[in-house]
């Protein structure tokens, strides 16, 4: 099968790019011919909250990546769409995560469909965005209406599609493991690589810091006097995608600075292993969510997890088996952390993670995309 993936990829950085590159390799492992078409301009600078959109690492030499979509230039949409219309790939997989991309990706999809051969399937991370903006609904509908089918990575997104009355074939397939950050590393070696004191235990909050991810809730939980008595620290590893001052105010209010390890720059791929393997427990205190790639990195590195009962997070984290599912409230999170350390849950939960991770296969994701395209 001739496959094209349309979405972020090198030279762009971040979880979406990492995922799309790993998906391309999975198609190739299945015997398919595959390439990625990515953005020459993903976001105008005034819409991008981070330091840079571009990777400083060497690009993947094993992948065919075409850099050609300008998200705000309709001429590029027509050029890419018409090129793919004429080339007639069997399957085009779009990655849809943000309504802002609806006009560009929807136009490209409509142009490709004119060849009456190519099947258009979207991996829909979200159809109702975490952070609402004007134009969300029409932009999203414009893109979704151009697709032959969908694969969602949480049941909540599948339900959202139906609530929006899209009747195309769709199926749920869990987010595969992020197994591209290298092999597991002994905790002692990871702590040494980060220069951390092994006398402490470490919790990990990982990823871009945005309001919906609930770092403020976690900081309030960490201020619980019961946790202050434990020899533990919280690692905050990820770049601020918004104003840091509200979080700094909480840190100052509760005198948390000495109990935190702050790495609030973008974490390059080669350092991800150290942060996860140094952690006892990975905490995702999200206020709303669909699915999370952080969970799938934690599964790969066999780390227990604490997630909140929002969106699709709890679907992948069986409570009491691989970690905790709690309310998105400081006391509930603090209670779970206290139980984790007082009752020494790490070995039991880590064994549960090792067993559970076997089901998160890239081959299964490739199979789901192909199955939906054939319906």
Which has more confidence, 183 or 49?
183
Report pLDDT for 285. 95
The three state secondary structure string of the chain is CEEEEECCCCCECCHHHHHHHHHHHHHHHCCCEEEEEEEEECCCHHHCCCCCCECCCCCCCCCCEEEEEECCCHHHHHHHHHHHHHHCCCEEEEEECCHHHHHHHHHHHHHHHCCCCCEEEEEECCCCCCCCCCCHHHHHHHHHCCCCEEEECCHHHHHHHHHCCCCCCEEECCCCCCCCCCCCCCHHHHHHHHCCCCCCEEEEEECCECHHHCHHHHHHHHCCHHHHCCCEEEEEECCECCCCHHHHHHHHHCCCHHHEEEECCCCCHHHHHHHHHHCCEEEECCCCCCCCHHHHHHHHCCCCEEEECCCCHHHHCCECCCEEEECCCHHHHHHHHHHHHHCCCHHHHHHHHHHHHHHCCHHHHHHHHHHHHHC
pLDDT digits (tens, 9 = 90+) for 214-236: 999 999 999 999 999 999 999 99
Which has more confidence, 50 or 343?
343
pTM given for the model: 0.79
Helix 15-29 and helix 362-374: axis angle, to 10°?
A: 80
Contact (Cβ atoms closer than 8 angstroms) between residue 127 and residue 151 = no
> Quick one: CA torsion of 231, 236, 237, 243, rounded to 10 degrees?
-170
Name the nearest CA neighbour of 156 among 120, 123, 125, 122: 125
Name the nearest CA neighbour of 204 among 137, 109, 271: 271
Report pLDDT for 164. 87
pLDDT digits (tens, 9 = 90+) for 238-276: 988 888 999 999 999 999 999 999 998 888 889 999 999
Alpha-carbon gap, residue 15 to 207, rounded angstroms: 9
Contact (Cβ atoms closer than 8 angstroms) between residue 303 and residue 281 = yes
What domains are there in the chain, each with its CATH number?
2-176+360-374 (3.40.50.2000), 187-358 (3.40.50.2000)
CA 175 from centre of chain: 9
User: Cis before residue 11, ω within 30 degrees of 0?
Assistant: yes
Alpha-carbon gap, residue 298 to 296, rounded angstroms: 5
Alpha-carbon gap, residue 2 to 300, rounded angstroms: 29
Tokens of 118: 């190519």
Instruction: Decide if pLDDT at 15 tops 90.
Output: no
Alpha-carbon gap, residue 41 to 32, rounded angstroms: 28
Work out the pLDDT band at 47, boundaries 50, 70, 90.
Answer: low
What's the average model confidence in pLDDT over 97-113? 96
Work out the pLDDT band at 154, boundaries 50, 70, 90.
Answer: confident
Report pLDDT for 278. 98
Work out the pLDDT band at 51, boundaries 50, 70, 90.
Answer: low
Report pLDDT for 50. 56
Which has more confidence, 95 or 52?
95
Alpha-carbon gap, residue 354 to 177, rounded angstroms: 12
pLDDT digits (tens, 9 = 90+) for 294-333: 999 999 999 999 999 987 788 889 999 999 999 999 999 9
Least confident of 57-61, 80-84, 95-99, 351-355: 57-61
What's the average model confidence in pLDDT over 92-104? 95
Report pLDDT for 267. 87
Tokens of 114: 């004119």
**9-39 per-residue burial string, b: 16 or more CB within 10 A, e: under 16:** bbbbbbbbbbbbbbbbebbbeeebebbbbbb
Report pLDDT for 269. 86
Alpha-carbon gap, residue 15 to 57, rounded angstroms: 14
């Amino acid at each position: 099968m001739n496959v094209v993936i349309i979405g972020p990829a090198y030279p762009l950085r971040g979880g979406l790019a990492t995922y799309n590159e790993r998906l391309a390799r999975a198609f190739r492992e299945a015997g398919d011919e595959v390439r990625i078409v990515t953005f020459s301009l993903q976001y105008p600078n005034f819409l991008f909250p981070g330091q840079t959109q571009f990777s400083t690492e060497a690009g993947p030499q094993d992948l065919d990546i075409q850099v050609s979509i300008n998200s705000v230039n309709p001429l590029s949409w027509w050029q890419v769409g018409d090129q793919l219309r004429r080339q007639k790939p069997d399957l085009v997989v779009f990655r849809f995560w943000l309504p802002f991309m609806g006009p560009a990706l929807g136009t490209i999809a409509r142009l490709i469909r004119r060849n009456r051969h190519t099947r258009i399937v979207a991996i829909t991370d979200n159809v109702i965005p975490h952070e609402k903006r004007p134009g969300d609904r029409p932009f999203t509908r414009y893109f979704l209406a151009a697709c032959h089918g969908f694969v969602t990575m949480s049941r909540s997104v599948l339900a959202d599609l139906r609530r929006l009355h899209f009747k195309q074939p769709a199926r749920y397939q869990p987010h595969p493991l992020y197994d591209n950050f290298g092999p597991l590393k002994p905790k002692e070696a990871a702590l040494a690589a980060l220069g951390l004191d092994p006398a402490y235990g470490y919790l990990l909050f990982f990823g871009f810091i945005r309001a919906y991810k609930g770092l403020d809730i976690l900081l309030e939980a960490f201020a619980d006097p019961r946790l202050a008595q434990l020899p533990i620290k919280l690692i905050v590893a990820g770049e601020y995608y918004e104003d840091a001052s509200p979080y700094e105010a909480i840190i100052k209010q509760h005198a948390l600075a000495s109990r935190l390890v702050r790495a609030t720059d973008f974490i390059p791929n080669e350092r991800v292993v150290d942060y996860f393997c140094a952690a006892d427990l990975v905490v995702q205190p999200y206020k709303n969510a669909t699915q999370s790639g952080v969970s799938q990195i934690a599964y790969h590195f066999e780390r227990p997890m604490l997630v909140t009962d929002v969106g699709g997070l709890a679907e992948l984290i069986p409570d009491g088996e691989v970690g905790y599912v709690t309310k998105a409230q400081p006391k509930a999170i603090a209670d779970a952390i206290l139980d984790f350390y007082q009752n020494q849950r790490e070995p039991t939960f880590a064994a549960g993670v090792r067993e559970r991770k076997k089901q998160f296969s890239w081959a299964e994701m490739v199979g789901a995309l192909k199955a939906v395209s054939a319906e």
